[in-house]
Amino acid sequence: MALLALSAEAHAAGSAAATDPLNSPGWNAMRERFFKQQPIVFDERVHVSAPDHAEDPLAVPVTVSAENLGPVQEIVIIADLNPIQKILSLTPTQAVAGLSFRFKVEQSTPVRAAMQTRDGIWHVGGQWISASGGGCTAPSLGSTGLWQDHLGEMSARLWAHSGERSERLRLRIIHPMDTGLAAGIPAFYLDTITVHDTASAELATLHLFEPVAENPVFSLDLYGHGAVVVDAHDIQGDHFSAQVQP
Domain boundaries, the chain: 20-244
Tell me the mean pLDDT in the region 42-53.
Answer: 97
Domain 20-244 has CATH 2.60.40.2470: yes
Contacts 24+ apart (CB under 8 A), 72-76: 72/97, 72/115, 72/116, 72/117, 73/116, 73/117, 73/118, 74/115, 74/116, 75/99, 75/113, 75/114, 75/115, 75/116, 76/34, 76/113, 76/114, 76/116, 76/122
Q: What is the mean pLDDT of residues 202-216?
A: 97
CA dist 177 and 6 (Å) reads 37
Q: Which of 31, 30, 76, 58 is nearest to 179 (CA)?
A: 58
Per-residue pLDDT tens over the stretch 90-117 = 999 999 999 999 999 999 999 999 999 9
Q: How confident is the model at residue 166 (pLDDT cuts 50, 70, 90)?
A: confident
- 22-49: average pLDDT: 95
Distance CA 125, CA 17 (A): 15
Number of residues written out for the chain: 246
Better-predicted residue by pLDDT, 142 or 238:
238
Overall average pLDDT of the 172-186 stretch: 94
Do residues 103 and 79 lie in contact, with contact meaning Cβ atoms separated by under 8 Å?
A: yes
pTM: 0.90
Torsion of CA 219, 197, 91, 206, to 10 degrees: 60
CA 230/CA 194 separation, integer angstroms: 6
Residue 135, C-beta contacts closer than 8 angstroms, at least 6 positions apart: 54, 57, 58, 60, 103, 104, 105, 106, 211
Residues near 12 by Cβ (< 8 Å), separated by ≥ 6? none
**pLDDT score recorded for residue 135:** 82
